[in-house]
Amino acid sequence: MPNSTNHCTWSFKCVPLCTVQSLEKKLSYRGLKSMGIIIICKDVRAVKLILSDSSKGLDAYRQLNDLIFPAFRSRELFAYAFGRQCLEQNRFVAEGWDVYDATAEYHRQNIVNNGWRISAVNEDYSFCDTYPSLLAVPVDVSDDLLIQSAPHRANFRVPVLSWLHPESRASLTRASQPMVGLQNRRNSADEQLVELIRTANANTSDLLILDARSQRFALANVAKGGGVENVSYYRDITCKFMGIQNIHAMRASQTKFMEACYSQSDKNWFKMIHECQWLLHLRLLLLAAKEVAEQIENHKRSVLVHCSDGWDRTAQIASLAMIMLDPFYRTIRGFQVLIEKEWISFGHKFCQRTGGPADGGSPFTSPLAGDLSPLPLTRSNSEERSPIFLQFIDCVWQITQQFSGAFEFNESLLITIMDELYAARFGTFLFDCERQSRVYKARRQTVSLWAYINANRHLYENPTYVPAESSGHRVILPNHSVSSLRVWIRYFLRWDPSLQCQEPVNNASLVQKMENFRSLRSKHSQNGIVRHLSTAP
């Protein structure tokens, strides 16, 4: 870890253990009697160690492997040791875990005055262990109805509210797939729940169910007990399939994309970028999110989003759509709330998707006293790894490139979030769901990433930011075509030595531009000119 606790700067010499993805050894390196150890990192670094004595090299390799990938966990996670140190020294303890409050966020959306209510049916996580403790549902939906409908949805993830339009009352809800199966099962409670979501919006007669999957793969899930909503059973619904591929296809795409990033040759670089289809996957995600935003904003139509389990593609689409629809989520604090709400509380499997340090081994701290039983963490296999959250962050970066003045934060915030996700020194992304985080006392014994970011807020502010109330643009709809997307150089290629040389020059230039802009903005803010300053000078 860096020596400084005020600012985090990773380098080739500073590799957090949790960031390491794999180790490779070459017994004869470049024809010499030496040995090479290659450390492949999750953040697109490849660190090469050359040892002149191959026997000592093998010993070093074994020691590194045992340290990074232990067979048994004998120590507490670093996030807990770091958290204890911070608490003792009173560092990063404010404004972190308190950033997101579900009740406050639902009240910000004014749902209780617009036909919705907050349910505590999942207060002890016995209703759905991967959902948050508080859920928002139409006011006419009883807890009994939720309980009756739960078995019809994969992992009991019933349709609940993510976002409500402030004027039209069109809603964005999320769920998992219905468990239809080969028997074409139906559930009257689920049908009634979807109907009440539809009728909660008086502006349109029908509800759009946006299925992130392709129709072919959605129907293939029928053989596994899943499937899609039968339009004969649900009144006034329309289903639309977006053709976004599953976690395995995304992992394969990332692997090829990383190979392109590691490549030292220019000869086939563009071909490699094209064949990995990374930008194509981003395009489909942005297209789906844009479809949701357009339906809600322009057609006042409520949308229910789901994929298979409701914690990967569903989180991507819902959160991207909310960024397009609500300027609050384009602020520094609002973006933190969005991630806490749509990703962490709704059970995106951060630990399994990234191979995080909490994935497997014995419990490393005592569970809470009371009615919550210990939750074992079973090691997942590599098939569970997938760059779902990275794709979301990349999509956000793509949107910031098209609407630079619409975001209060800069790309350094996005990079820091990804770096800390893999480094795992904070408790924010350690677990797969809200319940796990509570059982293992993350809030009490670790530090939140948001506390660190908010303590260094000046590093993440965008000087060209113009609030929506000044610009007059509440909703932003990005261009999703591949021609409008680009490779995120400052993240994926930042370890290239040639770019490392450019960094000090670029940073100095950026600092000067920021100072000039702030001076100009301060000078003219009283004259109302600031609303026109939406791009950097």
Q: Residue 285 in contact with residue 316, Cβ under 8 Å?
A: yes
Lowest pLDDT segment from 219-223, 375-379, 445-449: 375-379
Q: Residue 364 in contact with residue 73, Cβ under 8 Å?
A: yes
Average pLDDT (482-489) is 96
Summarised one tens digit per residue, pLDDT across range 111-166 is 999 999 999 999 999 999 999 999 999 999 999 999 999 999 999 999 999 999 99
Q: What percent of the chain has pLDDT over 90?
A: 70
Lowest pLDDT segment from 246-255, 370-379, 382-391, 426-435: 370-379
Do 178 and 279 fall within a single domain? Answer: yes
Q: Residue 250 in contact with residue 387, Cβ under 8 Å?
A: yes
Catalytic residue among 18, 307, 351, 433: 307
Q: What would the two tokens of residue 177 be?
A: 């797939």
Q: How many beta carbons lie within 10 A of that of residue 470, not counting itself?
A: 16
Residue 5 has pLDDT above 80, yes or no: no
Look at residue 381 in the predicted model and tell me its pLDDT. 78
Do 337 and 199 fall within a single domain? Answer: yes
**Could you give the CA distance from residue 256 to residue 237 in angstroms, rounded to a whole number?**
39
Summarised one tens digit per residue, pLDDT across range 28-64 is 766 667 788 999 999 999 888 888 888 888 889 999 9
For residue 81, being part of any structural domain is answered with: no
**Could you give the CA distance from residue 191 to residue 200 in angstroms, rounded to a whole number?**
14
The amino acid sitting at 74 is S
Do 42 and 107 fall within a single domain? Answer: no
**Could you give the CA distance from residue 321 to residue 315 in angstroms, rounded to a whole number?**
10
- In the numeric block, the tokens 């795409």 are attached to 253
For residue 533, being part of any structural domain is answered with: no
Residue 372 has pLDDT above 70, yes or no: no
Q: What would the two tokens of residue 491 be?
A: 């993240």
Nearest CA among 2, 6, 8, 5 for reference residue 415: 8
Summarised one tens digit per residue, pLDDT across range 342-361 is 999 999 999 999 998 876 54
Do 27 and 107 fall within a single domain? Answer: no
Residue 1 has pLDDT above 70, yes or no: no
**Could you give the CA distance from residue 51 to residue 426 in angstroms, rounded to a whole number?**
33
Binding-site residues sit at 221-224, 246-247, 307-313
The amino acid sitting at 289 is A
Look at residue 380 in the predicted model and tell me its pLDDT. 65
Total tally of structural domains belonging to the chain:
2
Helix (H) or strand (E) holding 171, with range, is: strand 171-175
- Domain enclosing residue 46, as ranges: 1-71
C-alpha 457 chain-centroid distance:
20
Chain length of the chain: 537
Summarised one tens digit per residue, pLDDT across range 87-102 is 899 888 767 999 999 9
Do 141 and 239 fall within a single domain? Answer: yes
For residue 11, being part of any structural domain is answered with: yes
Average pLDDT (198-209) is 92
For residue 382, being part of any structural domain is answered with: yes
Can you give the CATH number for the domain in which 14 is found?
2.30.29
Do 67 and 106 fall within a single domain? Answer: no
For residue 293, being part of any structural domain is answered with: yes
CA dihedral of residues 242, 248, 251, 253 (deg, nearest 10): -60
- Taken in order 283, 289, 290, 291, the sign of the CA dihedral is positive
307 assigned to active site: yes
Q: Residue 114 in contact with residue 164, Cβ under 8 Å?
A: yes
Average pLDDT (455-475) is 92
Look at residue 534 in the predicted model and tell me its pLDDT. 41
Do 48 and 114 fall within a single domain? Answer: no
Q: Residue 312 in contact with residue 247, Cβ under 8 Å?
A: yes
Look at residue 148 in the predicted model and tell me its pLDDT. 98
Pairing of strands 160-164, 237-241: unpaired
The backbone torsions φ and ψ at residue 152, rounded to the nearest 5 degrees and listed phi first, read: -85, -5
Do 485 and 367 fall within a single domain? Answer: yes
For residue 536, being part of any structural domain is answered with: no
Do 159 and 44 fall within a single domain? Answer: no
Do 219 and 109 fall within a single domain? Answer: yes
Do 107 and 60 fall within a single domain? Answer: no
The more confident residue out of 4 and 250 is 250
For residue 365, being part of any structural domain is answered with: yes
For residue 265, being part of any structural domain is answered with: yes
Summarised one tens digit per residue, pLDDT across range 230-281 is 999 999 999 999 999 999 999 999 999 999 988 877 888 999 999 999 999 9
**Could you give the CA distance from residue 510 to residue 514 in angstroms, rounded to a whole number?**
6
Do 23 and 150 fall within a single domain? Answer: no
- Range 170-190 burial, b when 16+ CB lie within 10 A, else e: bbbbbbbbbbbeeeeeebebb
> Which pLDDT band, with edges at 50, 70 and 90, does 506 fall under?
low
